[in-house]
C-alpha cells in the first residue's frame, strides 16, 4: 500500500523529531517552530472546547513563541 505514512511507526516519529543532531541548524529551527505551534494550537483548541474559551490567535502565537524559546537549549545540545 502506497500512501503518506511511513513503513514503520519509528520512521514517522524520527521524521518529526526535533532532537536530531545530524540535522542542520536551519532545519532544527523549523522543526522547533512546528512542534511549538502545533502544541499551542492543540492546547488552545482544548481550552475552546472544554473551557468555553474564545478563539484568540495572538494567544496561540505568544504561547508558540514561549515554547520555542523554552525548547531551543534542548535542541542544540548535541549539535556542534
Burial annotation 43-75 (CB, 10 A radius, 16+ → b, else e): ebeeeeeeeeeeeeeeebeebbeebbeebeeeb
Predicted local confidence at residue 79, as pLDDT:
45
The whole-model pTM stands at 0.62
The radius of gyration of the chain's CA atoms, rounded to the nearest angstrom, is 15
* CA dist list (Å): 16 to 32, 35, 62: 10, 8, 22
Q: Model confidence over 9-18: pLDDT tens digits? A: 666 656 655 5
What's CA 28's distance to the chain center, in Å? 11
Predicted local confidence at residue 32, as pLDDT:
85
Q: Model confidence over 1-49: pLDDT tens digits? A: 456 666 766 666 566 555 555 667 777 778 888 999 999 999 999 999 9
- Per domain, the residue ranges of the chain are 9-74
Amino acid at each position: 500500500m502506497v500512501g503518506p505514512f511511513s513503513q514503520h511507526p519509528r520512521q514517522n516519529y524520527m521524521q518529526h523529531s526535533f532532537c536530531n543532531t545530524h540535522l542542520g541548524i536551519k532545519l532544527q529551527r523549523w522543526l522547533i517552530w512546528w512542534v511549538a505551534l502545533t502544541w499551542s494550537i492543540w492546547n488552545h483548541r482544548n481550552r475552546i472546547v472544554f473551557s468555553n474559551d474564545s478563539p484568540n490567535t495572538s494567544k496561540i502565537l505568544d504561547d508558540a513563541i514561549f515554547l520555542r524559546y523554552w525548547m531551543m537549549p534542548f535542541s542544540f545540545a548535541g549539535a556542534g
